[in-house]
Structure 1
Amino acid sequence: MDLDVLNMFVIAGGTLAIPILAFVASFLLWPSALIKIYYWYWRRALGMQIRYANYDDYRFCFSYRGRPGFRPSILMLHGFSAHKDMWLSVVKFLPKNLHLVCVDMPGHEGTTRSSLDDYSINGQVKRIHQFVECIKLNRKPFHLIGTSMGGNVAGVYAARYPAEICSLSLVCPAGLPYPTDNKFLKQLRELKESERMDRVPLIPSTPEEMADMLKLCSYVRFKVPQQILQGLVDVRIPHNEFYRKLFLEIADEKSRHALHENMSKIKAPTQIIWGKQDQVLDVSGADVLAKSISDCQNSAAQIPTVYLQNQAAASMRVFSLVSGIASI
């Protein structure tokens, strides 16, 4: 074989080997870095850009796509211990001409975390309103989506600032007295009675606890490699002390039923999305909301209560809501 051709194959092989070796090394040694790269790539592929907004000395981190236009902008609030990138699996189903904003909730990811801040639901509502004012999102009414803890915040926000909200989606929101106790709520009650709230299943500190949390939070069962579990734990461990403080705040008396206490004040067309197999927040909460939010069924957008079992279906339901609101 010609020496030049051989050299070409060696160079080509070496060029291909470098990214492969880098991937394998990251997977085995720095899985948390691989997870961050994964989110970076997904944001880039979907056209989401990261920006920061300051309110006095407080900084909000958010991602966005598109610009305000004829259709309402959409603000998305994530759940406990998550971050703005959790919405990427929903964003991929939404039209690219919509103005989307996904913000890191107070104390999460790139948004300011302070030991002096108020992380109760009311405190978080106040902070999100500051964010909305910062980016002038409330120049005209926008659509608000919240899930879990973010759903609690979104519902209270819609009740407090009705003129700013044109429509609302609550995805398995916290903040309700659930008619049916599930396994998770019973487990929390036992932990509280035994004064072992440091063992909350939503705050894992080992790969095994992470696997248990994924089983608790996912209806579809799938095998996650040990290295990925370790990476997920490595990303969360530096924040676990904050997560424990936050959990105690939102589980406290003044926040535990915040949505329930404010739901009768919600006037915007409202959609309720809940998985029938939800093991964390029982689906019985959907009926509580549907019966208490005024004109939930008879509002201009004619939005019904729905029950969904997976995130892809939920994403499409949110898409149908946004399309309906845009045509009003």
Structure 2
Amino acid sequence: MDPDVLNMFVIAGGTLAIPILAFVASFLLWPSALIRIYYWYWRRALGMQVRYAYYDDYQFCYSYRGRPGYRPSVLMLHGFSAHKDMWLSIVKFLPKNLHLVCVDMPGHEGTTRSSLDDLSISGQTKRIHQFVECIKLNRRPFHLVGTSMGGNVAGVYAAQYPEEISSLTLICPAGLQTSTETNFIKQLKESEHIDRIPLIPSTPEEMADMLKLCSYVRFKVPQQILQGLVDVRIPHNDFYRKLFLEIVDEKSRHSLHENLSKIKAPLQVIWGKQDQVLDVSGADVLAKAIPDCHVYILENCGHTVVVERPRKTAKLILEFLALLHSTENNKKQA
């Protein structure tokens, strides 16, 4: 073979080998870095841009897509120990011309974490209102979406700032009083140490247990990825523990329930029937408390509705917004 041709194959082979080796090294040695790259890639692919907003010396980190238009903007609040990128699985199925905003909740990811911050549901609600004012999202009423802890905050926000909310979607929200104990509640009661909180894993085995607790679908997650997920979380576990104790404290535990009578916006509720963290009977509590509440119970789905059923969840949200838009138009024509 011609030496020049041979050299060309060697160079080509080396060029291909470098990214492959880099990927394998990341997977084996730095799985947490691979996870960050994964989120960065999907933000770029879906057109989500990351920005920062400031309220005095407090920093909010958020991602957004689209611009405000004739349809209400959509603000999405994630759950405990998650971050703004958890919504990417749903963003994938939402139209690109819909104005979306996903914010890191207080103390999470790129949003300021302060030992002086009020992490109660009331305190978090005030912070989110500051964020909304910073980016002037409340120039027009917007649609608010919240899941789990974020659902608790979203419901209280709708109660405290009713003029800013055009409609509300709560996905298996926390903060309700129900009579049924879930596996999560039972595990908490059986635990002798407050350090052992099922939602705050510190080993790959505990991470696997948390995934089983939160989802009905059994994801086959490689050990290295489990390790990566743990590595990403461990530096924040002390904060998560402090936050958890705040939101289960008497001051916050039933915040949503205590504010139900003040919610005036049209409400949509989405809940996984097999939720082992927050019992699905909470949907009945909301339906009985709020007139014309639209309830959707998803079969074969756990607490992580956003991850397990993203296409269905996006479809339900869009149908709800379309229904409200149609109803509003009919009222104007009447």
Cα offsets for 1:287-320 (capped at 9, x unmatched): 0011002x234xxxxxx21111342322221222
Cα offsets for 1:77-119 (capped at 9, x unmatched): 0000000000000101100000000000000000000001000
Q: Which of residues 258, 283, 295 is equivalent to 1:305?
A: 295
| Residues in 2 aligned to 1:132 and 1:222: alpha-carbon distance in whole angstroms | 35
| Residues in 2 aligned to 1:326 and 1:84: alpha-carbon distance in whole angstroms | 27
Equivalent residue number for residue 331 of structure 2: none
| Residues in 1 aligned to 2:15 and 2:235: alpha-carbon distance in whole angstroms | 36
Equivalent residue number for residue 54 of structure 2: 54
TM-score by length of 2: 0.93
In the TM superposition, what is the alpha-carbon distance from 1:187 to its structure 2 partner? 1.6
The one-letter amino acid paired with 2:317 is V
Equivalent residue number for residue 34 of structure 1: 34
- Residue aligned with 1:82, SS: coil
Residue 324 (structure 1) aligned with residue 309 (structure 2)? no
In the TM superposition, what is the alpha-carbon distance from 1:141 to its structure 2 partner? 0.1
The one-letter amino acid paired with 2:122 is N
Residues 1-328 of structure 1 aligned to structure 2 (within 5 Å): 1-191=1-191, 194=192, 196-293=193-290, 295-297=291-293, 304-308=294-298, 309=301, 310-312=308-310, 313-327=312-326, 328=328
Which sections of structure 2, spanning at least 5 residues, go unmatched? 302-307, 329-334
The one-letter amino acid paired with 2:297 is Y
Cα offsets for 1:232-258 (capped at 9, x unmatched): 000000000000000000000010000
The one-letter amino acid paired with 1:307 is I
In the TM superposition, what is the alpha-carbon distance from 1:326 to its structure 2 partner? 4.1
Q: Percent identity?
A: 80
Instruction: Determine if contact 1:72/1:326 at 8 Å carries over to the other structure.
Output: no
Equivalent residue number for residue 300 of structure 1: none
- Residue aligned with 2:268, SS: strand
| Residues in 1 aligned to 2:85 and 2:321: alpha-carbon distance in whole angstroms | 20
The one-letter amino acid paired with 2:321 is V
In the TM superposition, what is the alpha-carbon distance from 1:259 to its structure 2 partner? 0.2
Q: Alignment length, in residue pairs?
A: 318
| Residues in 2 aligned to 1:94 and 1:19: alpha-carbon distance in whole angstroms | 32
The one-letter amino acid paired with 1:168 is L
The one-letter amino acid paired with 2:279 is D
- Residue aligned with 1:254, SS: coil
In the TM superposition, what is the alpha-carbon distance from 1:188 to its structure 2 partner? 1.6
- Tell me the C-alpha RMSD between the 2 structures: 1.0
Instruction: Determine if contact 1:83/1:109 at 8 Å carries over to the other structure.
Output: yes
Which sections of structure 1, spanning at least 5 residues, go unmatched? 298-303
| Residues in 2 aligned to 1:186 and 1:315: alpha-carbon distance in whole angstroms | 32
| Residues in 1 aligned to 2:194 and 2:319: alpha-carbon distance in whole angstroms | 40
| Residues in 2 aligned to 1:96 and 1:169: alpha-carbon distance in whole angstroms | 20
| Residues in 1 aligned to 2:206 and 2:178: alpha-carbon distance in whole angstroms | 26
| Residues in 2 aligned to 1:126 and 1:188: alpha-carbon distance in whole angstroms | 29
- Residue aligned with 1:53, SS: strand
TM-score by length of 1: 0.95
- Residue aligned with 1:173, SS: coil
In structure 2, do the counterparts of structure 1 residues 326 and 47 end up closer, same or farther at CA, with 3 Å as the change threshold?
Answer: farther
- Residue aligned with 2:101, SS: strand
In the TM superposition, what is the alpha-carbon distance from 1:321 to its structure 2 partner? 1.9
In the TM superposition, what is the alpha-carbon distance from 1:231 to its structure 2 partner? 0.4
In the TM superposition, what is the alpha-carbon distance from 1:156 to its structure 2 partner? 0.3
| Residues in 2 aligned to 1:53 and 1:311: alpha-carbon distance in whole angstroms | 31
